[in-house]
Amino acid sequence: MKNPSVPYIAPMAVFLIFLAVGNRLGLGLWEFPLRAAVLAAVLWFVSRGVIDLRMPHWLASIGVGVVVFAIWIGPDALWPGYRSHWLFQNSITGQVSSSIPEDYKTSTLVLIFRTIRAVILVPIIEEIFWRGWLMRWLINSNFQQVPLGSYAPSAFWITALLFASEHGPYWDVGLITGVIYNWWMIRTKSLGDCILAHGVTNAVLSAYVVCVGKWEYWL
């Protein structure tokens, strides 16, 4: 029998492999559409049965997404040099840097597919993994018996902390974001609403990255 965790975990595993590989595939500009295509294929062929895009609280979810965006850029906007502190950039969390090579920042192809990844693919991948699977699995390994949005303190905080660790030098705002998205899942019991909130955050952040040139936010 197929492991019920696979559809929730597989896209995240592929995504993390791509992050670990970095820009070393040697495919040039075509690396960006290839990554998007592979992630979309995994979501479609492996995970589509667990993706629920119903958004009963869509307007509030948009608001949550915008608030998280403000939290994400707030410290760096208010206190220049904030992110250079050793608490954020060190041998464990890594250094602030962009995943976009300098000579690709003017490429329409790269910007389109990097935005698609950030706004559409990553919110689905991360929400089905963090809020759809891990928060439930930490409550009961037979996670299908645990309703979406169930609360247990250990599951809530472990998920938030691991979500923060995924964001390297931005772990502080990543932790706050993880807490907010966890809370929103508990509040709405809706995977679709969490995907929407996450997607809005990434959409506004992507626009900010491209318009203001803050490429470091695209990890």
Exposure letters 21-32 (e unless 16+ CB within 10 A, then b): eeeeeeeeeebb
Q: Is the pLDDT of residue 1 over 60?
A: no
Report the Cα 119 to chain-centroid distance in Å.
9
What's the rounded Cα separation, in Å, for the pair 31 and 101?
12
| Cβ(177)–Cβ(72) below 8 Å | yes
Q: Is the pLDDT of residue 67 over 70?
A: yes
How is the chain split into domains, by residue range? 6-217
Q: Is the pLDDT of residue 159 over 80?
A: yes
What's the rounded Cα separation, in Å, for the pair 59 and 73?
22
pTM score over 0.85: yes
Q: Could you read off the pLDDT of 189-206 as tens digits, one per residue?
A: 999 999 999 999 999 999
Region 172-195: mean pLDDT is 98
What's the rounded Cα separation, in Å, for the pair 33 and 139?
37
| Cβ(157)–Cβ(175) below 8 Å | no
Region 160-176: mean pLDDT is 97
Categorize the per-residue pLDDT at 99 as very low, low, confident or very high, splitting at 50, 70 and 90: confident
Q: Quick one: CA torsion of 165, 78, 100, 173, rounded to 10 degrees?
A: 20
Bridge partners of 94, per DSSP, are 90
